[in-house]
Every structure is written in C-alpha cells, then in structure tokens.
Amino acid sequence: MKKVLTAEAADAANEKAEQTEPVNVARREASFTVAQLRPDARALFGVSQSTYDGATDGIAPDKTFTVNAMREHINKWLKEVH
C-alpha cells in the first residue's frame, strides 16, 4: 500500500524547508602553476621576480598553488632568509 502525502503534510514539509538555514558552500580557489604566477609577482605578492625566484627555488615550475597558498609560502620564506 502506497503512502499518500496529504496537502497539510506537504505544506508542513515546504514550510520546514523554507526555514532551513542555507548550507555554507566553500568556494574553490583557482590554482596556477609556479611559472604562471611569476610574471605577476609584484602585483600579487609585493615581491620582485628575483625574490619570487628565490622563494620558489626547487619547486617544479608546473606545480600548482592558489594565490593565497603561494603568498603564505613566500612570506614564510622571507622570514627564514631575514
């Protein structure tokens, strides 16, 4: 025997759905290769390309990072060398 959804039950379900908090969906950050980020090092990270080269020395040029992850990497590297 099939269950029949009454109009009252459907209204109650719709009302409950409208009261439900929206799910917080995290946005995925874009990733770029080390080589792609280099030309914009000054604008993105506030460092020269030569400083960027030092901070990324030993990292494969095709390895990907988000801008924020690379910024954190560069800032950590700067603290280590100063």
pLDDT in tens, 8-34: 665 666 566 566 656 566 678 899 999
Two tokens at 15? 């009302």
**Which sequence spans correspond to the domains of the chain?**
29-82
| Residue 66 β-bridge partners | 31
Residue 33 neighbours by CB distance under 10 Å? 14
Single pTM value for the model: 0.67
Q: What are φ and ψ of residue 9, in 5° steps?
A: -65, -40
